[in-house]
Chains A and B, each alone.
Chain A
Amino acid sequence: MNPFQFTRVTTPQAAVSTISKTAGTYFLAGGTNLIDLIKREVIIPEQLVDITKLPLAAIEKTSSGIRIGAMAKNSAVADHELIKKHFPLLSMALNAGASAQLRNMATVGGNMMQRTRCSYFYDNSMPCNKRGPVQSGPDKGQPNGPGGCGAIGGSNRMHAIFGASAKCIAVHPSDMCIALAALDATVNITGPKGDRSISFTEFHRLPGDIPQKDNTLAPAELITSVDLPTNAFAEHSYYLKVRDRASYAFALVSVGVGLEMKGKIIQQARLAMGGVAHKPWRLSEAEQFLKGKEASEFNFKQAATLAMASAKGYGENDFKLTLAPNSIVEALQIATENA
């Protein structure tokens, strides 16, 4: 095997001080994605810092909402009474993801860090701009397979319709993150320069010219928790995931909806989509449009049309230009009926 350094740490401070700031270094949490990538040699690590023993798995009430520790298991979050009661959208999204076995391993922080499932990214013999150079071993610094974007002009049925670039049209695969983006979450981070917090929607990034970079974390930074602010969406929440089979499949399109209703009138709306962009895709224009409007099919269709303004298909995924607005309408309808 390719040798790498492996260290187990027990405090966030130790994690940050142990991990090298160079490329090819990774925190290992549930490992449900990282180990796969190492086996496929998409990632050849130089250093793994095992953070599974960090005391960061608590889910607790705060003065402004709920804090979820970065090491909380996906299944523990989905089944937690506070989450089911106050943030059912998050619970639904988590349960729509992966399989029961994977949810029992995967952590909240790890889920945010998972890489795209683009087939070209996973096959080192195929062109991909996202893989970047080999990070360790005798070929360090060499390209890890041919460059270019294999998905453009190729098999791109699963790919982005929003915010893609000429370098990359991959999508972010998480369900959980769609709910967190919709629910105005904040990400708490610690690192060599101390602690900081950023809005969840600022955490992931679009591919632009550096598709290798999925998020805005700086080297050696560690996610410690996610904060969810109190809201009034619990009664009218829904996570719709459209996929090729009923379970254990990535989203063709998914929609997370939270509505605050007064009678038939929408006071506040939160909408985010998955399977459509390199990051959870928040539908701000549609949210603005729905505010103060009656919950009606007509208005839902208007909102969906607004949401699709900048969408662009790449061939095999052109169907998403229809499926996405349809799904927005369907999710809004179900969320309205939920009570």
Chain B
Amino acid sequence: MKKETKNPAIDRVDGRMKVTGGAKYFADFDLPDLAYCVIVGSEIARGILTGIDTKKAVSAPGVVGVFTHLNMPPIPGWDMPVSGQSDGGKPKPATEETYRILSSPKILFDGQPVAMVVADTFERATYAASLIKATYNKQSARTSLEKNIEKQVTPKGGDYKRGEAEAYESSVVKLEADYKIPIEVHNPMELHGITAHWTGKQQLMIYAKTQGVNATQQAMAQAFQVDPENIRVHTEFMGGGFGMGLRTWPQETAVVAIAKKVGRPVKLVMNRSQMFTMVGHRPYTVQTIQIGADQDGKLVAINHAATAETASYEDFTEATVNMTRFMYACPNVSTRYRLVRLDRSVPIWMRGPGEATGAFALESAMDEMAHKLKLDPIAFRLLNYTQTDPEHDRPYSSKHLKEAYERGAEAIGWKNRKSEPGMLREGNSFVGYGMSTGVFNAFRWEASARVILSSDGSLVIQSAVTDIGPGTGTALTMIAHNVLGVPFNRIKVQYGDTSLPKAPTQGGSAIVSAVGSAVFDACSKVKNELFALALKDGGALAGRQPTELTLSDGVVAVEKEPGKKVAVDVLMKSSQLTKIEKDADSKGSPDLEKYSMYSFSVHFVKVKVNPLTGAVRVIKAVSVADSGRIISPKTAASQMIGGVAGGIGMALTEEAVIDHRFGRFVNNNLADYHVAVHADVPAIETIFIDKPDPVINPMGAKGMGEIALIGFAGAVANAVFNATGQRIRELPITPDKVMRKMV
């Protein structure tokens, strides 16, 4: 099959394994003499640790070691320039990170580790940890973004501007609105942690919850000044990452140091409340959008400003305002991005990352503007549609967003929408429709892969990439199948281990494009070798040209001559080959620079709102993806469904709440932090445009993990407005924000 052809929907290749317990997650690996680590976190968010009494813990049963800032083993490489994180091992300059775990009595954030206790069982470590008494000199914690907004700083990257700054002020129709996103926490089902095992003085085996085994390998090599070749990291499966595994967290490095010190393997599995303070979160962000248009609805200006929280000890930035620069045809655009450094732990990308935050604001504002202009929201977007990227002044590699609008509108029943809010009722409830656009960079990162074709016709695919759940194994299987024609059930994917060919960190919707291309190239090499064997002098198909040949179901054949063929096993055996093994490194071409490569999505929702109680329910959702050729339709649809479930959480329920008097979370558990449950998530229709991108990679596939979420919250807010006339600009849209005073 070629990229011109749609791919069949096959089952997730590792699905059976996952639901029968066959898939092993990091914490499932048991080792002889394994010890267990439990973290004691700070109970204050800012101040000085004046004392830490570990005596009772040290003498508690089964305790192997108790580590605090007073006796923490050194981490030699930490203050040297740090190697790469997210791109699979390419060295990078030192990060901004200055926080060093258990190195000083200074408390920088709530939950900051003040002690790590190691014992022979998890229960004993937990008990010993409970015996530790810390005393603090507490300082007032600066955790509120609003209260500290005057201390904002401009991060690297700077502001963006095209056209005239005054264009907004002189526009005929103007809209200015503020939007707010609370702290959201990834909260995957699987808890975070690591198992570290020094198998020799300079030999390290790690089972971790990381989205990139190569990145963890590099980080640990850096931290412990060990040759990366001597560090093996294994993360085959992950019970949800959503971005929290995109970096190596300080407590992971600490466990490796402690394992070395105690001379036995050590495992850390964090608890749920620690997941709120030690593995990042979507940053609290306030935004202001100004949109100016002429009276016909043509955009004149957009100004987009965002201010996000970060830690006092590190600047975390994301692409919150970037979408505004290129999404619509608009001559005058400015974006501004600021950070406020707070006494909180550092944020990290969370699915959709900053683009999802920004899209909520931009796509809500577009809806508000459409209403002001008395235009249909889709018509307004089409009026300002652009087929070239106005930010970089170059064409999109592919863009079928118009078709996405059409097909989504048809599926949700957009024609039933009333342009005036509050006009549709079902029983006592108001009904409304909303839509929103999402967009995310389509990348082509470097990656490597190996494929091994055996003479029995089976194929093994190898890559270090971790599967965080999107169906990576299934997609790679499809790509190999399309090149080599090997039946799906004869293909095995081995991944998630640094002993395999290097791959980037799973994130940024980039893996099918990156690793998939490497698999494609490696398979193509195998195919070329098979063809060469068939075509060589004395070969079964000698005298033909490679372009005349096809390969499928274990047979090389001449395309236009039925019967002229040779079986692959025959071909290999005749050349005394038991296997053909090929490696490929893939990185795209400089030609890609001529294009802007993005994936697009459109989300449509229908909501029902009870005006008395303010309860909002999404009763139908349609998500359309324009992300090139879909490699694995079934797992891609699952990914879209997951994005909608996450989007409903973002729109309606998720918010990590801080009591600023203490600088601490008050809902750091899964009962009080509300991720969407099944009852919140209606039937979801997923639609794929499924047209190959002609540029990005040989499969024509662009990423789609992020666009499944980006924009969704805006669609819900827009639907709530359409249902009730109430514009909610602060997420989540909980009942108290929507209800009206009736009594």
Contacts and interface: CB of A to CB of B under 8 A. Distances in A.
Nearest to A326: B612
Interface string B646-686: 00000011000101011010110101101011111000000
B661 A153 contact: yes
Contacts of B653: 244-245
Contact of A245 (B661, B662, B674): B674
Nearest to A153: B661
Q: Interface residue tally of chain B, by bracket?
A: 35 or more
Interface string A326-339: 11111001000000
Interface string A241-256: 0111111111011000
Contacts of B662: 126
A243 B130 CA distance: 34
A123 B276 CA distance: 14
Nearest to A300: B743
A150 B617 CA distance: 32
A119 interface: yes
Contact of A248 (B127, B130, B677): B677
Interface string A309-334: 00000000001001101111110010
Nearest to A320: B736
A253 B612 CA distance: 12
Contacts of A27: none
Interface in A155-175: 155, 157
A120 interface: yes
Among A246, A249, A322, chain B packs the most CB atoms within 10 A around the CB of A246
A47 to B, nearest CB: 19
A154 B661 contact: yes
B428 A326 contact: no
B742 interface: yes
Given A154-B666, A242-B735, A249 B613 contact: no
A205 interface: no
B43 interface: yes
B613 to A, nearest CB: 4
B127 A1 contact: yes
Contact of A329 (B615, B734, B742): B742
A323 B664 CA distance: 28
Label chain B's interface by main secondary structure: loop
B130 A41 contact: yes
Contacts of A329: 612, 742-743
Contacts of A216: none
A323 B613 contact: yes
A1 B612 contact: no
A240 interface: yes
Interface string A276-290: 000000000000000
Nearest to A327: B613
Contacts of B679: 245-247
Listed from nearest, the 5 A-B pairs whose CB atoms lie closest are: A246-B679, A325-B743, A319-B736, A247-B679, A125-B43
Interface of B: 43, 123, 126-127, 130, 428, 610, 612-615, 617, 652-653, 657, 659, 661-662, 664, 666-667, 669, 671-672, 674, 676-680, 732, 734-736, 739-743
Interface of A: 1-2, 41, 117, 119-120, 122-123, 125-126, 150, 153-155, 157, 240, 242-250, 252-253, 301, 304-305, 308, 319, 322-323, 325-330, 333
Given A117-B672, A155-B657, A323-B613, 19 more contacts: A1-B123, A126-B666, A154-B659, A155-B659, A242-B615, A244-B735, A245-B652, A246-B617, A247-B677, A252-B735, A253-B613, A304-B743, A305-B743, A322-B741, A322-B742, A323-B735, A326-B742, A330-B428, A330-B613
